[in-house]
Structure 1
């Protein structure tokens, strides 16, 4: 495990309030929310954003929601490890954005499997964009990505890896998740052009009936109002599970990519931010944190993501959700590593925190 990954994990496992809705002053394009809910004692969701600012235009913005799988081993640890490994894989890799995303989720899958042996895992949904205009949706499990805009259409851009949605069966048991093992085939797709806003949610938010969820997104004039309303609504509907989401103003996030950062890498969650100053290699690029071999991406045809070559991910009308928590399970192996890091700075967000207003 790299120093970079260890620091992210430790930071994500720090003691924080039970809930928050936050919009960082230095990341105004993203609003993040999380809530332990009314029936859980531990928050196994993780929501965070990553900014990487290398030289030669190697800039990347990432927003991700991860949900540790209830009923399995160490949900909080698996979710934290999945997110930290995913971010580490993106920071260390080069090449096309889809290659980087595939290597990153493969590294996350390997890391969680190595820890839990298939007896624990997490879902992961994320969007990745770079300063060249390339975009990628990365998805595994039943967290979700929606596109929306004030008074415009709401579309779900991901399909749950559940019995019901993946193979037309019954029940919400997951067929795929981070930590399942070498059979993993993540969904990789592009963000549709002309997308204004994105919502990435855990099932503690999208358990809300689909027409209600759609109505909230349609009638929210800002990403902040969408985040606040859905966070409150999840509680009003009983708060049966951890509820987390990231809400993205995509044009603003793309605009932020064009502005150089004062640090090489920075991470935000609903409670604060973590900054890194990383070494540059001889070419002036950020030194890789691990060397992910190319064959991790170029797998045989039958093992590739079935969506990898699609220009757009599948879209569909909002389905009816139900309130039952998923049962989830599966397995995998090991991964290379390397050490890097110079300086770390931890800051609090300027966004509001609801942690003191608990039920």
Structure 2
């Protein structure tokens, strides 16, 4: 069921972009889908599986195109809400939407700095909502021109280096008792939403890697050798995604199964990176395009109401008083920023357009 903005933590209500992404990721969707993203070299796929009543996975991609002095960035994120804890689906939604928001907000920093800031903001946002009683795993790729790609991982979602005819290599270690400290069991020592003490694993992608696969445990619970053989022999990423999703079901479909496959070589082409100023977000079910109607530096910030699929974001009357307070706050924050302190929060006026994926699987249009 789609969340209203009143259900989101109050810390999120001030930012139109984060709200828009969170609402969009929470919409009613079919039980499974695959999106071969238009003009973006990635396959995003998710499947509720055969034994779960709700899909608590979220997989999405973001492309921020350059505007003025902003740095372009491409990010692909996969999050798995933690079963048995509070509101796993909502925690995964907040993890992805707040991660994307922080990447946009810190767009003038380097990739590793943005990865750390985005993971910290996601952790804080989910913790503010669930108070440590809920959370999500998170794995992400960050890509920018002129710098080695960066990956970040927290929990037991995974990232693999792969490709047709290429030996598969896992690039991440699970934050589980078994893998992190050599104990027994799959209990997680770290996750998004755990609160203070979180230490994400951030590293650059090894040179020579041409493709990456981001997976939740509904995919990689498959026998490791079998998973590697599928990735090794698949003729192209779409086939690999389809085969792994089907295999997860054939093996019982005990959990939500999500995968993102990214062609790093294609990401480096100008045709993929160079687009008009704005933001695009993909998930397995469709695409959302967000256009800057006003750059944050051109006027005082506005707070915006929730988006619909047919209308751009608009400021509502109840927010006018808070807008005036925000303008005063932004002037004070600007003064602090000039003194070397944190930059002010940047809310912008946005226009949103939504397209549906053409590769949604047939089935009941149930909520996740």
Per the TM superposition, whether the score is higher than 0.5 is yes
Give me the whole-angstrom Cα distance separating, in 2, the residues matched to 1:239 and 1:233. 8
Corresponding position of 1:41: 53
Moved more, 51-60 or 143-152: 51-60
Which SS does the other structure have where 1:188 is aligned? strand
Moved more, 128-137 or 185-194: 128-137
Tell me if structure 2 keeps the 8 A contact 1:131–1:257.
no
Give me the whole-angstrom Cα distance separating, in 1, the residues matched to 2:86 and 2:144. 35
TM-score, length-scaled by structure 2: 0.80
In the alignment, which of 337, 340, 347 is matched to residue 348 of structure 2? 340
Per the TM alignment, residue 184 of structure 1 is displaced from its structure 2 partner at its CA by 0.1
In the alignment, which of 277, 287, 299 is matched to residue 273 of structure 1? 287
TM-score, length-scaled by structure 1: 0.82
**Is 1:353 the equivalent of 2:360?**
yes
* Greater share of helix: 2
Give me the whole-angstrom Cα distance separating, in 2, the residues matched to 1:206 and 1:344. 34
**Is 1:181 the equivalent of 2:195?**
yes
Name the count of aligned residue pairs.
Answer: 312
**Is 1:52 the equivalent of 2:60?**
no
Per the TM alignment, residue 283 of structure 1 is displaced from its structure 2 partner at its CA by 8.5
Tell me if structure 2 keeps the 8 A contact 1:46–1:67.
yes
Q: Which runs of 5+ in 1 are unaligned?
A: 295-335
Moved more, 53-62 or 164-173: 53-62
1:13-33 deviation line (CA, Å, top 9, x unaligned): 000000012202232x10011
Q: Which runs of 5+ in 2 are unaligned?
A: 1-11, 305-329, 338-343
Corresponding position of 2:129: 115
Per the TM alignment, residue 281 of structure 1 is displaced from its structure 2 partner at its CA by 4.2
In the alignment, which of 25, 44, 57 is matched to residue 12 of structure 1? 25
Per the TM alignment, residue 275 of structure 1 is displaced from its structure 2 partner at its CA by 1.0
**Is 1:146 the equivalent of 2:160?**
yes
Give me the whole-angstrom Cα distance separating, in 2, the residues matched to 1:257 and 1:181. 40
**Any runs of at least 4 consecutive aligned residues in structure 1 with deviations exceeding 3 A, and if so which?**
256-259, 281-284
Give me the whole-angstrom Cα distance separating, in 1, the residues matched to 2:205 and 2:62. 18
Per the TM alignment, residue 132 of structure 1 is displaced from its structure 2 partner at its CA by 2.0
Corresponding position of 1:247: 261
Corresponding position of 1:323: none
Which SS does the other structure have where 1:240 is aligned? coil
Corresponding position of 1:30: 42
Corresponding position of 1:320: none
In the alignment, which of 80, 83, 92 is matched to residue 70 of structure 1? 83
Higher RCO structure (Cα 8 Å, ≥6 apart): 1
Tell me if structure 2 keeps the 8 A contact 1:38–1:239.
yes
Corresponding position of 2:141: 127
